[in-house]
């Protein structure tokens, strides 16, 4: 997510028809309650994120991704036996049919990994999924997201696809499949915390998209493919790599102040600042800040200095705007630190969010009503029809 510095907006065109004037609104369904959910709560005023009653700080510091996925799917944190059973189910699903691998191989090496993920998930669903969404399907597809990305990433670099290691958890196995090396413990811990922090976030654009498709009684993969399309956009999940581009452009601590000051003054973009919901610090950014520091202390110095400088200059030059660091800022720093290339940042967001998407899909189908909102028409009425031959 990014922030455009000046206050800008679209100016609606005037309609000279006889329709009454439309009451101004912010659009984007802001403030509209579209569903009820027991999965997660985003409190933008207090800067708090809760998964099924548990504060995100507690979960990010102490839980594995598998524990949190169990929480989202089943409604409670697992016992040791339940966690072991879930791990075994993940391990059993860590494979891709040859038809899916062939589809991945045939894509050009220049294809965006997010497009590969969308395409391969759809291909897997075509040969593997039918019927009403189930928890077993949710586990099966969540287990395969990392396999798809790692397979393509190795192929595009001329390397062979690796087999998963059953002793590794979700985060560690993903890093292993990408690199071929058992990852460092601090990298596993950092990526695991990232996956926990991004697993769900209320009724965001991609989750809403998934629920809309699920409400039509479509299958779980169709809902996920739609969600992936929504996540790809830079206004939703496509921003972390752009944060990294910004940090690379700034380049040094000495250049931070003049670069940021120029961006703010001339209406440029500061990537990783501002959020549609949070009116205070994003709690996920607070956790990711520390994880990024531990994962790569040297690169963290520049990122942290840019953050402090940007917040100070925003307060100086844009007083009253209440702009804070969002999750994308330190997501970029952390994922770079654990060895992911920039074009894997958003797909790795999807690796995490798949747990939340599938939880919402299951919640939707278990108490379903077709999502069919109204639209406020702003066009003209009572136009006089003219046949084609008489139009000039």
Residues belonging to the active site: 275, 328
Cβ 299 vs Cβ 248: under 8 Å: no
The length of the chain is 392
Measure Cα distances from 183 to 82, 338, 344 in Å. 26, 9, 17
Q: Which helix (H) or strand (E) holds 269?
A: strand 269-271
In this structure, what token pair is assigned to residue 216?
């039509």
CA quadruple 11, 15, 21, 22: dihedral, nearest 10? -50
Distances (CA, A) of 249 to 157, 237, 258, 260: 26, 21, 12, 11
> Nearest Cα to 368, choosing from 189, 211, 148?
211
Pairing verdict, β 2-4 and 269-271: antiparallel
Question: What is the pairing mode between strands 48-51 and 40-43?
Answer: antiparallel
Q: How far apart are CA 347 and CA 43, in angstroms?
A: 26
The per-type count for the chain, helices as H runs and strands as E runs, is 16, 5
Which residues pair with residue 43 across a beta bridge? Answer: 48
């Amino acid at each position: 997510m990014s922030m455009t510095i000046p206050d800008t907006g679209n100016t609606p065109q005037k309609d000279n028809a006889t329709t009454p004037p439309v009451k101004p609104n912010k659009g984007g369904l802001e403030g509209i309650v579209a569903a009820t959910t027991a999965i997660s709560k985003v409190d933008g005023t207090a800067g708090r994120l809760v998964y099924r009653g548990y504060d995100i700080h507690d979960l990010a510091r102490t839980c594995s991704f598998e524990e949190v996925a169990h929480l989202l799917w089943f409604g409670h944190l697992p016992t040791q036996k339940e966690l072991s059973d879930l791990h075994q189910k993940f391990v059993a699903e860590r494979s891709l049919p040859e038809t899916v691998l062939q589809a991945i191989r045939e894509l050009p090496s220049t294809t965006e990994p997010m497009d590969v993920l969308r395409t391969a998930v759809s291909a897997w669903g075509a040969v593997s999924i039918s019927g009403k969404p189930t928890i077993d399907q949710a586990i099966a597809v969540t287990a395969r997201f990392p396999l798809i990305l790692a397979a393509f990433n190795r192929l595009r670099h001329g390397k062979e696809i690796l087999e998963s290691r059953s002793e590794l958890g979700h985060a560690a196995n993903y890093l292993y499949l990408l690199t071929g090396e058992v990852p460092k413990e601090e990298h596993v811990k950092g990526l695991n915390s990232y996956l926990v922090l991004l697993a769900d976030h209320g009724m965001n654009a991609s989750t809403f998209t998934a629920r809309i498709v699920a409400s039509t009684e479509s299958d779980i993969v169709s809902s996920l493919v739609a969600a992936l399309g929504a996540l790809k956009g830079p206004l939703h999940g496509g921003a972390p790599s752009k944060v990294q581009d910004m940090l690379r452009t700034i380049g040094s601590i000495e250049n931070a102040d003049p670069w940021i000051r120029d961006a703010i003054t001339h209406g440029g973009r500061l990537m990783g600042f501002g959020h549609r919901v949070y009116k205070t610090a994003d709690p996920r950014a607070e956790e990711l800040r520390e994880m990024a520091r531990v994962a790569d202390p040297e690169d963290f110095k520049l990122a942290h200095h840019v953050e402090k400088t940007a917040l100070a200059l925003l307060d100086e030059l844009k007083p009253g705007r209440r702009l804070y660091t969002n999750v994308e800022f330190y997501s970029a720093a952390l994922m770079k630190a654990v060895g992911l290339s920039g074009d894997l940042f958003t797909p790795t967001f999807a690796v995490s969010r798949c747990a939340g998407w599938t939880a919402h899909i299951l919640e939707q189908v278990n108490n379903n009503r077709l999502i069919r909102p109204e639209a406020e028409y702003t066009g003209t009425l009572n136009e006089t029809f003219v046949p084609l031959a008489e139009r000039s």
